[in-house]
A and B are shown apart, each in its own frame.
Chain A
Amino acid sequence: MKIAVPLFKERVSPHFGSSSKFLLLETSGVTVFQEAIQDVGGEGPAEIARCLVALGVQKLICGGIQNHHKDWLTRKGITVVDNQKGVAREVVHRLLKD
């Protein structure tokens, strides 16, 4: 599964759309077998959301995200796990275990 987490330094960005820098991970079950930090491009939440769709992201883990961006991403087949906070990698590992 391809997971994306917007970054604020090493933490989950609290405001989706403020940061185009993402932690991108390829996972299988609870195992992360590839990860990279990448600027996905775009400015603002709508453009960043489009970039994530173009990248083939399947799950977005983020802090705050506006409902209509969440609904749009969900309709594009991306699972959105919002209202997360903390160090990005720790949050991903915790959610993978859950």
Chain B
Amino acid sequence: MKRTTPQNQKDSGTRAQSDPMFCSITSALRSPCCTILESISDGVFTIDPNKRITSFNRAAQTITGFKAGEAIGQYCFDVFRANICEKKCALDETLTTGQSQVNLPALIISKTGDQIPISISTSILKNENGDIIGGVETFRDLSELERLKRQLARNYTHEDIVGRHPRMKKILSFLPDIAESESPVLIEGPTGSGKELIARAIHHLSPRKEGPFIAVNCAALPETLLESELFGYTKGAFTGAMRDKPGRFFLANGGTLFLDEISSTSRAFQADLLRVLEDGEFTPLGGTRTLKANFRVITATNLELKKLVDEGRFREDLYYRLNVVKVSLPSLRERREDIPLLAEHFIRKFNLLKDRSIQGVAPEALSFLISYPFPGNIRQLENIIEYAFITCKGDVIGMEHLPRDLVDERKDQISLLSENECEEAEKIRAILKQYPQNRPAAARALGMSRTTLWRKMKKYRIMDT
């Protein structure tokens, strides 16, 4: 071990002056121990009494997006850009009172325009004579933790929507306007493309954000149950109705009602729904008293609703009532450039959830994922990454960690499918889901014979539902 001598003290002092990374902290430790500060995941920077940055470690650069060369010498608020800088600067408080601040929450804006939640701790820096020579601030990136908290509470915001594809960026930039209006929203997009995420983000951006967000999957409930779920019922309305039960319309009062898979509802139900949406009034099953509820309705479908209207399977009047604002989500296949970003996002999520530290996806596996058609869209990608967390024991997800059937399937034939064929396969899957156990009806809806449907299912390896 190197002993501290007046000479190496002097060396480290000289180095601190010549190399900005050797700040007063590292000099004080009497060794070129920047490795300590450089290897930790917390951001650390120091300032002089004039609030000019004197050192800026590697994590600080990663979190803020500013290089040390861009940060050092600048005012800390111009680089750090936290929401507390102007009104309640933690370092100001520490320099004035001498008191350290611990784990203060704040939001910073990175160089690339991302808002990052952090926790800040501050302390004063003194020289060997005990004179205050500035302050030190450490900060921890809480984005993933906050994101995870929101996911667990399902309180998604627009910040949880990952995507840089122009169509996604356009949708995101419209969300605040959509949210602010009270208009009904229709979200169209293939299964697993994030329709509920968008619905929740609209709710959390809207003036109704303090109210409830009530989600109902219309395809998951038989029609009679769906009616009683939405309208509620009174005691004795039917066998087993032992007490009054408020419906989802009532529960959504003051908030947002999200009706997923609206295309799977019957025309009779659609007529009832239209009546409720038109005057906001409804009568629970078996009840005599009309109730009123004030909610905003957001609907979602994985089928093209207009086409269903043209085919007479969806009421035109309800379609126009629901389709005041339409959000059309692209399939993952249509925004392949977002796949690396999404893979990275899910890796961060599962690293936190499963206490792992997987660094990323190997180039070959990533290239495979980018070329894969993803009939299950983002949900399928998430499942693939979750599976890889089981099979991968190292730091990087490789081809061998991806689900075997996926790789084999791709090898066998999917790679030979054109874009049009992929779309056709996806459409068949959606229609089959719409008509479970009823292949003739599915064939009719697809405008093809039963034999053609069977042949295509075989070709695309689609299993009957």
**A interface residues with partner B (beta carbon < 8 Å):** 8, 11, 13-19, 46, 63-68, 70-72, 74-75, 82-83, 85-86
**Chain B interface extent, by class:** 20 to 34
Taking a contact as CB atoms under 8 Å apart, the answer to whether A18 and B85 are in contact is yes
B74 at the interface (CB under 8 A from A): yes
Q: Is the CB of A72 within 8 A of B173?
A: yes
Most buried by A among B74, B80, B114, B115: B115
**In the docked arrangement, what's the CA distance between A14 and B75, Å?**
10
Question: Which residues of chain A are within 8 angstroms of B74 by Cβ–Cβ distance?
Answer: 85
Residues in chain A near residue B108, CB distance under 8 A: 15, 64
Known: A64-B113, A71-B169. A14 touches B77 (CB 8 A): yes
For residue A67, which residue of chain B has the nearest CB?
A: B113
Using a CB–CB distance below 8 Å, which chain B residues touch chain A? 74-75, 77-78, 80-83, 85-87, 108-115, 158, 169, 172-177
Give Cα A13–Cα B87 distance, bound, in whole angstroms: 11
CB-CB nearest in chain A for B158: A68
- Check if B173 sits within 8 Å of A64, measured CB to CB: no
Q: Are A63 and B83 in contact (CB under 8 A)?
A: no
If over half of B's interface residues share one DSSP class (helix, strand or loop), that class is named, otherwise mixed; here it is: mixed
| In contact, B109 and A16 (Cβ under 8 angstroms) | yes
Min CB distance, A65 to chain B, in Å? Answer: 6
The CA of A18 and the CA of B111, in the complex, are separated in Å by: 17
Q: How far is the CA of A70 from the CA of B110 in the complex (A)?
A: 13
A19 to B108 alpha-carbon distance, docked (Å): 14
The 26 sampled A-B contact pairs (Cβ below 8 Å) are A8-B85, A14-B77, A14-B78, A14-B85, A14-B86, A15-B81, A15-B83, A15-B85, A15-B109, A17-B83, A18-B87, A46-B176, A63-B78, A63-B109, A64-B81, A65-B109, A67-B112, A67-B113, A67-B114, A68-B158, A68-B173, A68-B175, A71-B173, A72-B173, A85-B75, A85-B78
